Amino acid sequence: MAIAIGDWYLTQLRGDVNVVRAVATPQEKSALSHFYRLLKDQRDYSAHPADYDRKVEAEAWREDVRQKRSQPLADGNLIDALVNELCTALDCLCVVAARIVNDPIDSQSWRETAALSPEEEVRAVYANLGRHLPEHRVKYVALQFSKHPDLARAKSRQQRANIGELVVLGVLATPLRVPYDEILDEFGFIGDSRASALLLIAHGVQASGVPEARLVSVLREAWDAVQRTGLST
């Protein structure tokens, strides 16, 4: 049951949970983070009890449930405790969701985000980079995108797209502060095979500390220098 609940909440609801969590208060984020960690522990421990790296934490929660009930821990008791935790988390999500619905900007952002599945989001990035995503790889890349640690803080479709760009490039870096597709448009590289090389340089320029307002102009100088040395791909 822990595996089933975990797969539902951590996978199927992940997109909506990320949107809601991004605009939650610190206290609400803390409550949601607590449940995320608890649920992930119980799901993964149930699947791999012998070698789960947080086995101690997972067993400690189960022992706490047993002590509160003053009886041996049966599967039914464990499920009841986990469902109670789930209900608390869902109540928290509903409170934040209600605030989003009453805010025109946040509500519109959520609708735009919900309109695209993770699979469609990564396909769009691949297309902009002039690359082909084989159908058998779609679900894998979409899963990597959905699991990206920065996605929980994304508050707009564009921020999600910039994280998708990181996943497609396969680099460990901070998301670009400028929309990646605007950079490609500036260079006329939408759908161009040179797009990936340009964006890799853009990440390097940003990491060097160049202000956001100057990123494109400095990138143009860097790209021209690469062109002159014949190192572009």
Question: For residue 15, what are its two tokens?
Answer: 């997109």
- pLDDT band with cut points at 50, 70 and 90 for residue 73: low
- Supply the pLDDT for residue 16: 80
Output b/e per residue, 58-76; b: 16+ Cβ within 10 A: beebbeebbeeeeeeeeee
More confidently predicted of 70 and 52: 52
% the chain with pLDDT above 70: 94
- Supply the pLDDT for residue 145: 95
- Supply the pLDDT for residue 232: 46
- pLDDT band with cut points at 50, 70 and 90 for residue 233: very low
Segment 208-222 mean pLDDT: 90
First to last CA, the chain: 50
- Supply the pLDDT for residue 48: 82
For residue 175, the one-letter residue type is: P
CA distance 112 to 106: 10
- Supply the pLDDT for residue 109: 77
Answer yes or no: are the C-beta atoms of 53 and 17 closer than 8 Å: no
CA distance 55 to 48: 9
Evaluate if residue 170 carries a pLDDT over 60: yes
Burial class of 9 by CB neighbour count within 10 A (0 to 12, 13 to 18, 19+): buried
Q: What is the pTM of this model?
A: 0.56
What one-character DSSP code corresponds to residue 13? S
Least confident window among 11-15, 70-74, 75-79, 215-219: 70-74
233 SS3 class: coil
More confidently predicted of 224 and 112: 224
